[in-house]
Structure 1
Amino acid sequence: MAEKTGLKIAVIGGGSSYTPEIVEGFIRHYERLPIRELWLVDIEEGRHKLEIVGELAKRMVRKSGLPIDVRLTLDRREAIAGADFISTQMRVGLLEARKWDEHIPNRHGVIGQETTGPGGMMKALRTIPVLLDLCRDIEELAPDAWLLNFTNPAGMVTEAISRHSRVKSIGLCNAPIGLQKWLCEKYGTTPEKLYTEFVGLNHLHWVTRIEVEGVNKLPELLDKREEYSAQNVPATEWDPDFLRGLGGLPSYYLKYYYLTDAMLEEQLASLAANGTRAEVVKRVEDELFELYRDPDLNEKPKQLEQRGGAYYSEAAVNLMVSLHNDRRDIQTLNVRNGRTLDFLPEDASIEVNCVVTGAGPLPLPVTVVPEQVKGLIHAVKTYERLTIEAAVTGDRQIALQAMASHPLVPSVRAAKALLEEMLEQNRPYLPAFFR
């Protein structure tokens, strides 16, 4: 890895409202992750936020007394050069693009969500080319670096990087660590006494084993229908008979597939009352940046947990610590399938438990894959692979096949209408589709 003088870490999208959380993680884990330089990188449109959050990061480090040099830059190549770890938390098109990802599908009577369905497809089309361009810089300037991708849709982005670059990349999400924390609080236990087995894709996983101090708690959790959700996914109650027979605790994102009518109804009601989720998040972000601006603030404010991505940075820092120290612990990550799920291509990205070594994560064999979930996993993976191909080629025919393949899109006619309207809305970010 790096010399003993310390590590160089670059955060792409450093002006994000999430940044104070990752800085807090770096401070807390400094002894096991000795950072020499922390580079926060953004683009010209994000300069204002980068300066605000960057100054807060510097105050947090000063308060800690640690010798971490925090640098702010719009020059990503300068930040990447010689880096040990590169973390991505970017949003191509900012929250304005997310607003249309959510609003346009709703206008067509379809789920509007930033990582699932037509909205997730648009986010992938905007994001994949930008991240592959970033990867070319990493190949040149930091070929030994690990790229930890939190940028959504994380599974698709991670697979695109794995298939179209030589960069060592791992995708991660805050949902697994969020579930772990919820279970620890519910059962009054610690992570060391808890085992959860994840099967599926990013934002499309089932937890097929939940053992607390050696006792199987999955039947109890399925029977009680207790609500584990997230800030950005509405709480909708599951059907008890369906849940008991499912064979795994479903991710809250699976409500969009299993409870589509109820979720769409909630979305339309929320849209009428509060605007899109993007507009709600924009208001939360504006409040956060007002807090960040306070020269007396030198720690992560509690309000950040309302942002919807709580614990992501804890997951990112845990992963860096494990890679740097060859810790060989178990984490739930987005990695290359290999032969873990035998009904998917070997180069597909899946979300499963892995042992994290200094040489990278090793996917663990899954012990339970319910037959009733395989079809949905395969269908969504087909859509994902078509979307990746469309993002790389700019081919509208492939993009139409991707849109029509998604289980939440009701017909080819709807797929074509959605694709045409959403591509046009995203014209500034998708030049490959408008040659």
Structure 2
Amino acid sequence: MKLTVVGGGSTYTPELVDGFARLRGTLPVDELVLVDPAAERLAAVGGLARRILARQGHPGRVVTTGDLDAGVDGADAVLLQLRVGGQAAREQDETWPLECGCVGQETTGAGGLAKALRTVPVVLDIAERVRRTNPDAWIIDFTNPVGIVTRALLRAGHRAVGLCNVAIGLQRKFAALLGTEPGRLHLDHVGLNHLTWETGVRLGGPDGEDVLPRLLAEHGAAIADDLRLPHPLLDRLGTVPSYYLRYYYAHDAVVRELRGKPSRAAEVADMERQLLDMYRDPALDEKPELLSRRGGAHYSEAAVDLAAALLGGSGSPHQVVNTYNNGTLPFLPDDAVVEVQAAVGRKGATPLPVAPLDPLYAGLTARTAAYEDLALRAALHGGRERVFRALLAHPLVGQYDRADALTDRLLAHNREHLGWA
């Protein structure tokens, strides 16, 4: 089995490789190809990847290349984890929205739109080259904003599924609180990427006992602390929102907080420099502890599970993924991309039925899905007015003067990545 990682020079990659090594019974990878145009980064990451496999006795080989077409040729699955513009672009995404009184974040709000505009054309070009070289390959998208990028891939007819680590992170957290194995918990996870709620936590499978009320009663304070939301709010909701909901439920407080400290991009850039120095050490043969602070916890387990299921291995039959709505949430278009539990197999992902969603959640979901549609139109066709309309529709913007000011800043900071700007 051959797997290709586009963006293989990412400091995330050793987490992924560690998962391939530990879970080789689930996904027996013979060849792992890391593709990245940054040769120096790729050499450091590739060297550590080989040492990780060797330490754990994995027989697979690691190939590094800057040639995308060669890298994806013959691949069974291609995993996308790229960042167009690097951490420098992320720094801007997290900074200029604050000038207009809006959250500066790389996957949602105005910064998230900027990332989508830079990313969608690049991902679609990569996917077309995968299709020309190997039309049967599955594309697993971990590149943010996952919902918009996955929607672009699916609309273009690619064999694609989107993946995020929020659900698996919550599953692991809940299992630890309950003193049980993660595999025994099935999350009633519903919404859009980075806009989701756990409306149930079922012990033993989709039809098992819902232990969410028990979780909230016994561990609500700890869960709320992790989410950085007030404990009483979780009691009133009766659900566990994704931590990204903090940008919506506490927007103004988050803006004040972000204005008063260095950006997350600056922290990550410094962390990446340290990690790459570590990766160059020929004595290092395991992922360093510092990587756990980089983000993407449990990413490798989620990726292995999804790839194994898509390729006919022993992956879990039900997984939280991003795929077409197809009536799952009846208030959304069929071609909206939702993040829900799905049956996953060789033919792709089919969403499982979802209980009717409370209007409190359905309203925000519908509005954000409309924004994502407008964002994709802007990414595909360009134009200042399309950018403005997407921002005006976004729940975190919503005012015409802010949308105008944000549009000007977005275009000014991203001209080198937007051929039409």
Q: Give the TM-score normalised by the residue count of structure 2.
A: 0.95
Aligned to 1:392: 380
Distance, in Å, in 2 between the alignment partners of 1:69 and 1:19 is: 15
8 Å contact from structure 2 (residues 325, 334) kept in 1: yes
- Residue 284 in 1 paired to residue 278 in 2? no
Consecutive unaligned residues of structure 1, counting only runs of 5 or more, are: 1-6
- 1:349 Cα deviation after fit: 0.5
Distance, in Å, in 1 between the alignment partners of 2:277 and 2:76 is: 32
Give SS of 1:407's match.
Answer: coil
Aligned to 2:338: 350
Aligned to 1:38: 32
8 Å contact from structure 1 (residues 53, 292) kept in 2: yes
8 Å contact from structure 1 (residues 236, 263) kept in 2: no
- 1:410 Cα deviation after fit: 4.5
| Residue number among 412, 418, 421 corresponding to 2:409 in the alignment | 421
- Residue 302 in 1 paired to residue 296 in 2? no
Aligned to 2:192: 201
Give SS of 2:200's match.
Answer: strand
Aligned to 1:226: 221
Aligned to 2:260: 269
Distance, in Å, in 2 between the alignment partners of 1:197 and 1:235 is: 18
Distance, in Å, in 1 between the alignment partners of 2:93 and 2:54 is: 40
8 Å contact from structure 1 (residues 17, 53) kept in 2: yes
- 1:397 Cα deviation after fit: 1.1
* CA 396–384 in structure 1, closer or farther in 2 if over 3 Å, else same: same
- 1:14 Cα deviation after fit: 0.3
- 1:368 Cα deviation after fit: 4.4
Distance, in Å, in 2 between the alignment partners of 1:243 and 1:57 is: 41
Distance, in Å, in 1 between the alignment partners of 2:184 and 2:399 is: 47
- 1:340 Cα deviation after fit: 0.5
- 1:247 Cα deviation after fit: 4.4
Show the 5 A alignment for 1:23-172. 23-43=17-37, 46-163=38-155, 165-172=156-163
| Residue number among 279, 287, 304 corresponding to 1:317 in the alignment | 304
Q: Give the TM-score normalised by the residue count of structure 1.
A: 0.92
Q: Report Cα offsets for 1:314-348 as digits up to 9, x if no partner.
A: 21111112222354521100011101010001011
Distance, in Å, in 1 between the alignment partners of 2:397 and 2:183 is: 41
Aligned to 1:252: 243
Q: Report Cα offsets for 1:140-193 as digits up to 9, x if no partner.
A: 111101100000001110001111x22210001110000011011111101232
- 1:215 Cα deviation after fit: 4.1
- 1:302 Cα deviation after fit: 1.8
Percent identity between the two aligned chains: 43
Q: Report Cα offsets for 1:283-303 as digits up to 9, x if no partner.
A: 111111121111100111121
8 Å contact from structure 2 (residues 103, 251) kept in 1: yes
8 Å contact from structure 2 (residues 76, 311) kept in 1: no
Q: CA RMSD in A?
A: 1.7
Distance, in Å, in 2 between the alignment partners of 1:108 and 1:237 is: 24
- 1:47 Cα deviation after fit: 1.8
Give SS of 1:226's match.
Answer: helix
Aligned to 2:322: 334
8 Å contact from structure 2 (residues 328, 354) kept in 1: yes
8 Å contact from structure 1 (residues 88, 148) kept in 2: yes
* CA 317–325 in structure 1, closer or farther in 2 if over 3 Å, else same: same
| Residue number among 202, 221, 236 corresponding to 2:228 in the alignment | 236
Q: AA paired with 1:20?
A: P
- 1:369 Cα deviation after fit: 1.4
Q: AA paired with 1:30?
A: R
